[in-house]
Amino acid sequence: MHGGSTEEFQRIRIIMKKDLLNLIDKAEKEHSLTQDELAKILENKEINQELFNAADRVREKYVGNEVQLRGLVEFSNMCSKNCFYCGLRKDNKNLKRYKLKPEIIIDFAEKAVSYGYKTLVLQSGEGDFYSTKEMSHIISEIKKLDVAITLSIGEKTEEEYKLFKEAGADRFLLRIETTDRELYKRMHPEMSHENRVNCLMTIKKLGYEVGTGSLIGLPNQTIESLAGDILFFKELEADMIGIGPFIPNEDTPLAAEKSGTFEMSLKVMALTRLLLPDINIPATTAMESLNPDGRIIALQSGANVVMPNVTEGEYRALYKLYPGKICINDTPTHCRGCITGKIHSINRTVSKDYGFRKKNYTNQ
Centre a 10 Å sphere on the Cβ of residue 50 and count the other Cβ atoms it contains.
17
CB 227 within 8 A of CB 38: yes
C-beta of 261: minimal distance to ligand 5AD in Å? Answer: 12
Helices (H), the chain: 2-30, 35-43, 48-63, 102-114, 132-143, 158-167, 181-187, 193-205, 223-236, 262-275, 285-290, 294-299, 315-318, 332-345
**Member of 339, 348, 351, 355 binding ligand FES (CB under 6 A):** 339
Rounded CA gap, 163 and 166, in Å? 5
**Member of 20, 23, 28, 154 binding ligand SF4 (CB under 6 A):** 154
Interaction site with ligand 5AD (CB under 6 A): 85-86, 175, 177, 215, 244, 246-247, 249, 286, 321-322
Please choose, out of 91-99, 218-226, 231-239, 333-341, the segment that lies near ligand FES by the rule CB under 6 A: 333-341
For 21, counting Cβ atoms within 10 Å of its Cβ (0-12 exposed, 13-18 middle, 19+ buried), the class is middle
Residues in contact with ligand SF4, shown as a per-residue x/- string from 41 to 80 under the rule CB under 6 A? --------------------------------------x-
For 144, counting Cβ atoms within 10 Å of its Cβ (0-12 exposed, 13-18 middle, 19+ buried), the class is exposed
**Binding-site residue total for ligand FES (CB under 6 A)?**
7
**Member of 40, 89, 171, 295 binding ligand SF4 (CB under 6 A):** 89
Tell me: does residue 335 bind ligand FES (CB under 6 A): yes
Rounded CA gap, 133 and 163, in Å? 9
Rounded CA gap, 216 and 222, in Å? 10
Tell me: does residue 350 bind ligand FES (CB under 6 A): no
Rounded CA gap, 56 and 262, in Å? 17
Nearer to ligand FES, 167 or 343 (CB): 343
Rounded CA gap, 291 and 302, in Å? 17
Tell me: does residue 310 bind ligand FES (CB under 6 A): no
In 3D, which of 196, 124, 194, 110 has the Cα closest to residue 164? 124
Tell me: does residue 307 bind ligand SF4 (CB under 6 A): no
Tell me: does residue 83 bind ligand SF4 (CB under 6 A): yes
Please choose, out of 84-92, 157-165, 204-212, 254-262, the segment that lies near ligand SF4 by the rule CB under 6 A: 84-92
Please choose, out of 68-76, 174-182, 208-216, 330-338, the segment that lies near ligand FES by the rule CB under 6 A: 330-338
- List residues binding ligand FES (CB under 6 A): 308, 327, 330, 334-335, 338-339
Which residues form the interface with ligand SF4 (CB under 6 A)?
A: 79, 81, 83, 86, 88-89, 125-126, 154
